[in-house]
Amino acid sequence: MIEKDAVIHELVLPVAPEEAFEMFVDPARLVRWLGLSAELDPKPGGLFRFEVMPGQYCEGRYLSIERPNRITLTWGWTDPNMGVPPGSSRVDITLTPTNDNGTRLRLTHTGLTAGARALHDDGWTRFLDRLTTTAGDREPAPYPTETPEERRRWLSTS
């Protein structure tokens, strides 16, 4: 959902925070729900880069890593047509244990223009749904394959 100038998503994962944390910092686990390939160096100042769609790369730097409860990183796209250059926005992920051995995840994405907020809200909705399914040891829905241009057109007509 979009609140003021931020994209915010909250959900509960059926795994402990330690496991949820690994799903964001382990390349093999990340690409089960987000991306086609990933290069991650999860430490403050470390780079991350992953291919979301063929030829479409997201990249940035980890700002802070507080295992297993918080990850903060910069975010952007190598494709200038996306309008969000690498490192130009920020993603904060907090992982809080629940009473039933699960994890409450809160993702806040800031530093986006209004148009980019709608696109990223849609993207986070799709991929966090895949994360929830994957965390539950189920196979996620088929990977979204439309190009960013197709997604922008879809968003502009909805």
Residues 4-42 pLDDT 10s = 889 999 999 999 999 999 999 999 999 999 989 999 999
The pLDDT of 68-77, averaged and rounded, is: 97
Encoded tokens for 136: 């539950």
- What local confidence, expressed as pLDDT, does residue 138 receive? 84
Encoded tokens for 22: 């690994």
**% of the chain exceeding 90 in pLDDT:** 73
116, containing H or E segment: helix 114-135
pLDDT band at 54 (very low <50, low <70, confident <90, very high): confident
First and final C-alpha spacing in the chain = 15
- What local confidence, expressed as pLDDT, does residue 3 receive? 78
Query: Dihedral sign, CA of 98, 75, 77, 110?
Result: positive
- What local confidence, expressed as pLDDT, does residue 140 receive? 78
pLDDT band at 155 (very low <50, low <70, confident <90, very high): very low
pLDDT band at 59 (very low <50, low <70, confident <90, very high): very high
Going edge to edge, which strands form the sheet with 56-66?
2-3, 6-13, 103-110, 89-97, 70-75, 56-66, 47-53, 37-40
Q: Of 11, 15, 64, 59, whose CA–CA distance to 39 is shortest? A: 59
Mean pLDDT of the chain: 90
Q: Is 157 helix (H, G, I), strand (E, B) or coil?
A: helix
What domains can you pick out in the chain, each with its CATH number?
A: 2-157 (3.30.530.20)
- What local confidence, expressed as pLDDT, does residue 158 receive? 43
